[in-house]
Amino acid sequence: MPGANLTRTEAEERKEIVQAPIHYNVALDLTRGPKDFLSTTTIEFGAERGVTTFLDLIANNVESIELNGKQLDPAIAFADNRIELADLDERNTVTVVASCQYSNTGEGLHRSVDPSDGNIYMYSQFEVPDARRVYAVFDQPDLKASFDFSVVAPQSWIVTSNMPVAETEPLDRMTVPGTMGDHADEATKRVVFETTPTMSSYLTAICAGPYAEWHTEYANEDGRTVPMAMYCRQALKDAMAKDVDYLFDITKKGFAFYAKTWGVPYPYAKYDQIYVPEYNAGAMENIGMVTIRDSYVFGSKVTDALAERRVVTVLHELAHMWFGDYVTMKWWNDLWLNESFAEFTSTLATAEATDWKDAWATFCSGEKSWGLNQDQLSTTHPIVAPINDLNDTYVNFDGITYAKGASVLKQLVAYVGRDRFFEGINAYLNRYAYSNATLADLLHELEGTSGRDLTTWSQLWLEQSGINTMTTELVTSDGEEEKIAELALVQTAPVEHNVLRPHRLAIGFYNEDEATGKIVRTDRIELDVDGDRTVVEEAAGKPMPAFLLTNDDDLTYTKLRFDAKSLQFALDNLYRFDDALARAVIWLSLWDMTRDGELPAEQFIATSLKALGTEHESTTFRYALQQIATTVWHYTNPAKRTEIAEHVAQELWKLAAAAEAGSDEQFQLANAYLTYGVKGDEEFVNNARGLLDGRIVLSGLEIDNNFRWAIISALAAVDAMSDDEVNKELAANETTENREFALGARAKRPTAEAKDWAFEQALRNMDLTNSQLEAVANGFSATPDVELANAYVDRFFNELDWIWKNRTFHMAEALIEGLYPVYADPKKLVEAGEAWLGSHADADNALKRMVLANVESSQRTQRVCAFNSAL
């Protein structure tokens, strides 16, 4: 059997064999020791008599397999992560007893030990196909089943799952020594949960440990009372207590908003949110028990952008209870039915049901920029992506599936009308409740309510790759008052994805408000645009405004190119625009021109620095800082780069000093400044050490734990703090987070010895958790020193085959992205990358996609550097 990488064909064939009803009884024993746990699974299912199929299971050892009363030899039946089930009956019962392994990589059942108190925390993460790391299972989304879970755990632990607890039974035995870490051995218990509704295996979940807990309830729209809970590590209890009422309130607002918008009340028995350590993703939508990364528990000051992202994440996972959980895609090619909907609707809910009213500006600056970036790589794919196997699925949790998909859904709402759209969603949810659906099923319901033929729309928007560019063409009349003679929108497409799409969009007219000096919208035209050129008839004869904004309100998904007058006005006056979403759309367009080599890097930097002085939308601010940094270190003329970097650092320091005391802007600017240090810059070292020891004070800027580590990391990055000093800082307060900060700081030191240590640690140290590995890898590649980075170009490409063979997918992805020596000479990177690709034509598609993304980033760097060097 082929093993762990299930293909779509195999899944379709198994779906034809395995028949409903399917029921699992899963019993886990978490008290056997620190490495392994016992998994006993009994599955009842139907089939055609005499056929053969298989179960998925990743386990150290299978102790026994019993099929329909007959014992199977595990040495024969269990191979390549699969259990062969031959000669089936019409109704079948199979029981598998296996010893499975805890992970430290955030896959399967993750086991984390908190160094601050010795407490052990476990949680599961099963998307895409990692339920098979915990129990034997038909691990594909369209083989929905009901589940009974029971867990043996230490008496003092909290154990949670998708459903409420049915009973807890004390046991007359103790935990195996070592299970409880630094705590004494104790008695055990068996926790039995209620039977789940019909659901997909990847949405099942188990969490266990001495979590801190809070409880409330929600009066559901169907008359039920839904119990709600939140959990986190004991070390984060005080920080969580400050925010728990707020987070409960956000969640309840989400319940009400979604029930009203879709006409379907929350469908499950309870709703838990458990904040867990060392998480691979932002969160996971397990039915009734969402897991969320506990970096969202704020023990130190964070940006408003991150605080808002937490709200969007909470609402995103709640939206999945309907999109993805209640109705699930049949196969992973329709992953967007989960993620695009959750991303779109969580932004909508954030903007309309919470205090974060500028959420669409946040979406434009953050999510949409992510989609635009990935959609211009050769590795782009349709929103409805071709998924041939599980490895294809892994790499599609990306900016296309999330951000582009959500942006296109916003366009679809504009295209069919909001009321008709949500009427269609109501019909879709009701028709496919607790089952699986496809794109065709969704379109059928939307066509029924909107009256629009969506087949062509879907083919153009969802089933083909690439992004269009919308260019404003303008002819104005002479005379005392300049007027528009003709305004046209010209739509183009890249050669490799030559598709023109229909757009519903708006054109905003912007002028100065004499009373305030702000640039405000004074007129707006909304229209349908299709084909290569659309004349905006309604604009003819109107006075020419100071600025014309195509795609006002960000209704569609497209690149923008302004008319010459508007472009110059934006460069000179971005900081004066009154509307947060308008600024975000303009800023993103200027950034897109910069990375396409159409706008001088120094001009983008100058416009952005000026706009930072007045910008208050936190995510726009955050992404502008990132875009400035990328422009400085990768796109500027290399001959002028050091000078430009010094100038930007000085400007950021000035802006931080001038910002309002304690403000989000001050905090972001100070953090950004700390990333601009270079070895030998005594002024930088003095400023950083001054902040650390209190000699330099920015009024209102608190040097709390995380900011202290930002300074330590900055000093290490310029070789002004030794490993011993970093380790001493860690010893003073050793926590899960601070271990990661310390590893990252050591990896950032700009010496050959430090880089060699970091490179080898990330690759070979299997004891590093996923979060620690990422900290080391990202620290390794963070030093803007060409010579240091050049030494790792060949080493990086020589290790790719080993990484792919020896690491799980998520860890391979972290290494391939994190260890890529991005500051090396782009020519060397491109040559080495193209050579590797040329010699690996038969490599796994997912691996090649990751390598291509790196190489094409370096190719872009080459092109844009050449453009700016020629100016």
Q: What is the 3-state secondary structure of 649-709?
A: HHHHHHHHHHCCCCCHHHHHHHHHHCCCCCCCCHHHHHHHHHHHHCCCCCCCCCCCHHHHH
Q: Smallest Cα–Cα separation from 54: which of 100, 27, 17?
A: 17
Sequence-distant (6+) residues with CB within 8 A of 375 are 399, 400, 404, 465, 466, 467
The dihedral sign for the CA sequence 701, 703, 705, 710:
positive
Round to whole Å and give the CA distance between 773 and 812: 10
Pairing type for strands 519-529 and 559-561 reads: unpaired
Per DSSP, the three-state class of 66 is strand
Q: What b/e sequence results for 19-46 when a residue is b if at least 16 CB atoms lie within 10 Å of its CB, and e otherwise? A: beebbbbbbbbbbeeeebbbbbbbbebe
Q: Smallest Cα–Cα separation from 160: which of 227, 94, 64, 70?
A: 227
Residue that the structure tokens 């409740």 belong to:
433
Residue that the structure tokens 């997918």 belong to:
809
Contact (CB, 8 A) for 43 and 24: yes
595 φ, ψ to 5°? -75, -10
Per DSSP, the three-state class of 276 is strand
Round to whole Å and give the CA distance between 86 and 7: 20
Distances (CA, A) of 302 to 391, 392, 653, 666: 35, 35, 19, 12
Burial-class residue 523 by CB neighbours within 10 Å (0-12, 13-18, 19+).
middle
Annotated catalytic residue: which of 127, 317, 617, 737? Answer: 317
Residue that the structure tokens 């404003």 belong to:
472
- Find the length of the chain: 871
Examine the residue annotation and report whether 317 is marked as an active-site residue of this protein: yes
Interior CA angle at 609 toward 471 and 572, to 5°? 45
606 φ, ψ to 5°? -65, -45
Beta strand residue intervals within 277-370, DSSP E: 283-284, 289-293, 327-329
Contact (CB, 8 A) for 707 and 671: yes
Contact (CB, 8 A) for 120 and 111: yes
Judged by phi (left if over 0) then psi (alpha if -120 to 50, else beta), residue 393 lies in: alpha
Round to whole Å and give the CA distance between 47 and 17: 5
Structure token pair of residue 816? 């391939």
608 φ, ψ to 5°? -70, -45
DSSP class of 768: S
Which residues are catalytic, by number? 317
